[in-house]
Amino acid sequence: MDVREPILSIKDLKKRFGSKEVLKGVQLDVYKGQIIGYIGPNGAGKSTTVKIILGLEEEYSGQVTLFGEDISASSVEYKKRIGYVPEMADLYDNLTAEEYLTFMGELYGMEHETAKKKAEKLIGLYGLSEVYESRIASYSKGMKQKILIISSLLHNPDVLFLDEPINGLDANSVMIFKELLAQLAAQGKTIFYSSHIMDVVEKISNRIVLLHNGQILADGSFEELKNQNMEGSLEEIFNQLTGFNEHKETAAEIVSVVQEV
């Protein structure tokens, strides 16, 4: 595996906000075709890592190399090969899906007509043809999420960064989406999947990276993690690794407060 050139290589990445050090030296090599389940508790530094790679955050120490080029030195060109689904459904929602998606395509350097045709096809496949020409503001949560997903795929990117991408999707759409990820990975795309829903991460990713307090705590396939003396589901492994085992006590306390009334 290591013979190949990594698509993304992070070396000793550190980042601080004021006095708080959010990333304390992250090391990571990612290869073609991997689906990485990028997990960690709230505030572990997951989104910060992704934001640095996307160029949203500057002033870090360490090196981030994407497609063999240091991102701090290269121009914005490298972003053409990235697709991104942000956690917050930030959209220009007073545009229609048609307007928004073609705009996104064009930002990635596609021709207007090509982007439009492609968006229309994808929208149709996602069952949103009827609302293609209405404003996104009127959409439900799941529909907005589909728009975000489509806009991340429109330009046929080589690397995908997905932050809670199935948020609000119904079970059928989730199934399509999971299968989609598997097939994209088989085509050689690399996927960075960060989520708090452990069962999904467990099922779809072929490599799991656990970030805790700005450091990588575990890295390997689900089987490998299990073999490292850890039992049970990914959720339980997650609890063990992050040193959280008071869930029963906390829940019991909550129940007792609830019953006070």
Partner 1 sequence: MKEFRTLLFLDWFQGLFTRLGFDYRLLRRILQVKLTMDQRRVPTIFQQQGRKKGKDENRFIKSLWVYALFGLFVIPFIVMGDQYIFQLSITFTVLIFIVMTSMISDFSVVILDIRDHTILFTKPVERKTISLAKTLHVFIYLFFLTGSLTAIPLVIGLINHGLSFFLLFLSGIILMNILIVVFTAMLYYFILQYFDGEKLKDIINYVQIGLSIGLAVGYQIVARSFEFVDLTISFTPEWWNIFLPPIWFAAPFEWMLNGNHHVMILILSCIAVLFPILALILYVKALPTFEKNLQKLSSHGSKKKKAHFRFGDGLMKVLSRSNEERAFYRFAHYMMKNEREFKLKVYPALGFAIIMPFIFIFNGLMDGSREDLLTSSMYLSIYSSFIVIPTVVMMLSYSGKYKGSWVYKVAPVSSRSSIYKGTLKAFLMKLFLPLYALISIVFIILFGYRVIPEIAIVFISACIFSVICLSLMKGALPFSESFEGVQQSDSWKVLPFYLIVGVFLGLHYLALQVPFGIPGYLVILFVVNLILWKTAIKDQ
What's the min distance (Å) between Cβ of 16 and partner 1?
14
What's the CA gap between 130 and 98, in Å, rounded?
11
* 88 sits near partner 1 (criterion: CB under 8 A): yes
Give the binding-site size for partner 1 (rule: CB under 8 A): 27
* 19 sits near partner 1 (criterion: CB under 8 A): no
Angle in degrees, CA 55, 184, 129, rounded to 5? 90
Contact flags string 118-147 toward partner 1, x per CB under 8 A: -----------------x------------
What's the CA gap between 21 and 251, in Å, rounded?
31
CA dihedral 25, 30, 34, 36 (to 10 degrees): 10
* 104 sits near partner 1 (criterion: CB under 8 A): yes
What's the CA gap between 85 and 58, in Å, rounded?
20
Which CB atom, from 82 or from 166, has the smaller least distance to partner 1?
82
159: nearest Cα among 21, 25, 34, 2:
34
* 235 sits near partner 1 (criterion: CB under 8 A): no
Among 24, 29, 31, 107, indicate the residue that binds partner 1 (CB under 8 A). Answer: 107
What's the CA gap between 92 and 101, in Å, rounded?
10
Among 11, 25, 33, 108, indicate the residue that binds partner 1 (CB under 8 A). Answer: 108
Which CB atom, from 3 or from 76, has the smaller least distance to partner 1?
76
What's the CA gap between 224 and 227, in Å, rounded?
5
Piece of the chain touching partner 1 by CB under 8 A; list 98-106, 193-201, 202-210, 237-245: 98-106
**Phi, psi of 202, rounded to the nearest 5 degrees:** -55, -40
Q: Which residues bind partner 1 (CB under 8 A)?
A: 54-56, 75-80, 82, 84, 86, 88, 90-92, 94-95, 99, 102-104, 106-109, 135
